[in-house]
Amino acid sequence: MDEEATTHALIVFGLSLLLGPALGGLVGWLKSFFWGVGVGALVIGFAGLYGAATIGWHRYQSIAGTTGVQGSLVEFVDEQSKDSNGRTTVSRAPIVEYTASDGQKRRVKGLGGGLSGKEWGDAVEVRYSVADPSKALVADFQNMWGGVWGLGIFGAFPSMFGLFFIGMALKEGRSRYGYGSRPPPVREPTPVQKRWRTRGTVLANIVFLAGFALVFLYPDPEPMKQFGAGFMTIGAGAMLHFLVQSLPPALEFQARSILAIVGLGFLAFGYGAWMMA
């Protein structure tokens, strides 16, 4: 289901990986390094976001005409693929059997990541088209929304870095031409502000370090659960640092925005790992 939309989105994103650096290099040569990096990253980021939106919209439309049923895992099949270097890798794809409303049993092949911990006979949710029961997909996060999540990440973070470097380019331009060359007066924090900032920094550091501990100590044998819990906690710690540095008198936005980008990155990767477990 939605194979054409997925193929179209991947082609657009693949082209952006060629166009982005080329256009960024041209802009960097004509204007400045920051402008070049910013424009190149935005081309890639917007292509990723476009792909995520395209797949998400088509998936939403296709799901609207489906109904859910409980199927069962019947087997895993090995699938071989070659990378750009010609190396062969083998992955296991699950085969799930389901019975549609017409009483006929059918099978659908899914992606292996989210079902790797299941065994023969385990229940698996399936959604199939009411109009054509032979069209179906495994109804877990990876099979339904994995493509949206993946392209969303590959779109969001280049976009954020692109906006960051565009901001740096604008700041560089203002300094070069004398606009805003007089820096604002530095405000010294009051004793109360220092106290709250210290407490917030300590709390953020504790959360941050707890995330690394959860990667190894989370009480679940599933590695994706461990990584998901740990990465989301690390992301929460980075976001706490961002909020603490935003307390008045706040650190310059471009400096603290790195904390927000890192925090959102860990949260996104952690959430995806958790959902695919």
**pLDDT tens figures, 197-238:** 999 999 999 999 999 999 888 888 788 889 999 999 999 999
**Ranges of the chain with pLDDT below 70:** 1, 82-86, 112-114, 176-186
This prediction has a pTM of 0.82
Q: What is the pLDDT of residue 183?
A: 59
Beta strands per DSSP E along the chain: 66-82, 88-99, 105-109, 123-129, 136-138
Distance CA 163, CA 218 (A): 36
Residue with tokens 């904390």: 259
Q: What is the pLDDT of residue 72?
A: 94
Distance of CA 56 to the CA centre of its chain: 14
Q: What is the pLDDT of residue 184?
A: 61
Task: Report the greatest alpha carbon distance in the chain.
Answer: 77
40: number of Cβ within 10 Å: 25
Q: What is the pLDDT of residue 86?
A: 67
